[in-house]
Amino acid sequence: METAFQERSPIGQTRYQHFEARPVTGTFGAWITGIQVADALANDELFKELCDAWLKYQVLFFRDQELSPEQHLQLGGRFGEIQQLGYVGSLEGHDGVWVQEYPAMYEGPVSDINWHADSSFRSKPTRGSLLYALDVPDGAGATVWADQCAAYDDLTPAWRTFLAGLSCIHDNLTRNPYRVFDQLGGKALTDMRKFLPPTEHPVVCEHPESRRRFLFVSELMAREIVGMSRNESRAVLDFLFAHQTRPEYQARLHWAPKTLALWDNYSTLHRGIFDFGQSHRLMHRVSFNSDWITDA
């Protein structure tokens, strides 16, 4: 049986009043040209159009953006409630602007190497993020996103029916428990587990704004399907991990200094490409929350 995969029309470009959105794949992701995003701080119409484009394309990319840490924070605050605590520290004097700097981050207990949605192990996962590049290795250190609405849409009715009503345990120790244990150990690890316990989410969720359904599991965080044996759970998750990250659902961003990405952290997954050895890569990130979604 064929799926919608062969029938769907490409998402195409959109001409907004303030800018143009040029798609980077057939289903999601767009380059936004002709604006400085910081101008949306004082321009409600521009901000509204950015929200419209974000909802449609899920991931937006911008080149040559002038964005101070203060503006970065203010912009995040327009989208939602700024997430103060992260897995890296904030810029001095700017709580909520997380400093992601390599190679130092290779030493940390958490990595971005596997596919994931940020903080999916929280009861209220991150709604979205604004990631801003300051220094990037030439041609290397890309980030890839995967469209989980398209991945769900392409499932056959048999799989959609099967997944409906299933839920999954998200655990931030799923992929690297020994590394975390070795680095934190004992009381620090116990405290972290109390602060960030594993959380259950539906495998298929409904987006609060677009109302589209999407897959909400990922190889970095998804530990097990609730109510299944280990082997059953492994089989289901292995299929989903392979399906949800097919090249057809991927959009890759090659960074340059002053490139900005805004992504929907509910309906897309992402991962870093760590092909730059010990080269310097410095990003500022602002993440924000909003109300979480309901079961599909």
Binding site for Fe ion (CB under 5 A): 112, 118
Is 118 known to be catalytic? Answer: yes
Contact 236, 225 (CB under 8 A): yes
Tokens at 54, concatenated? 């974000």
Distance CA 195, CA 55 (A): 31
CB nearer Fe ion, residue 118 or residue 171: 118
Closer by beta carbon to Fe ion, 136 or else 236: 136
Q: One of 72, 175, 281, 285 is an active-site residue; which one?
A: 285
Strands (E), 40-161: 59-62, 81-82, 90-91, 94-102, 128-135, 143-147
- For 44, 70, 231, 267, the CA distances from 240, given in Å and listed in that order, are 39, 39, 14, 15
- Of 14 and 290, the one with the shorter C-beta distance to Fe ion is 290
**Residue with the CB atom nearest Fe ion in the bound state:** 118
* β-strand pairing of 59-62 with 30-33: parallel
Smallest distance, Å, CB 118 to Fe ion? 4
For residue 285, the minimal CB distance to Fe ion (Å) is 9
- Output the six-digit token pair for 90: 């904030």
Q: Which of 72, 116, 223, 281 is catalytic?
A: 116
Q: Choosing from 201, 270, 281, 284, which is the catalytic residue?
A: 270
* Least separation in angstroms between CB 89 and Fe ion: 16
Q: Is 116 a catalytic residue?
A: yes
Q: How far is the CB of 271 from Fe ion (least distance, A)?
A: 7
Q: Reply yes or no on whether 270 is catalytic.
A: yes
> What 3-state class would DSSP assign to 202?
strand
Nearer to Fe ion, 118 or 219 (CB): 118
Give me the sheet containing 204-206, strands edge to edge. 213-215, 204-206, 294-295
How far from chain centre, in Å, is Cα 254? 16
Query: What phi and psi, each to the nearest 5 degrees, are found at residue 144?
Result: -120, 140
* Least separation in angstroms between CB 220 and Fe ion: 8
Nearer to Fe ion, 118 or 147 (CB): 118
Do residues 75 and 37 lie in contact, with contact meaning Cβ atoms separated by under 8 Å? yes
Residues labelled as active-site residues:
116, 118, 270, 285
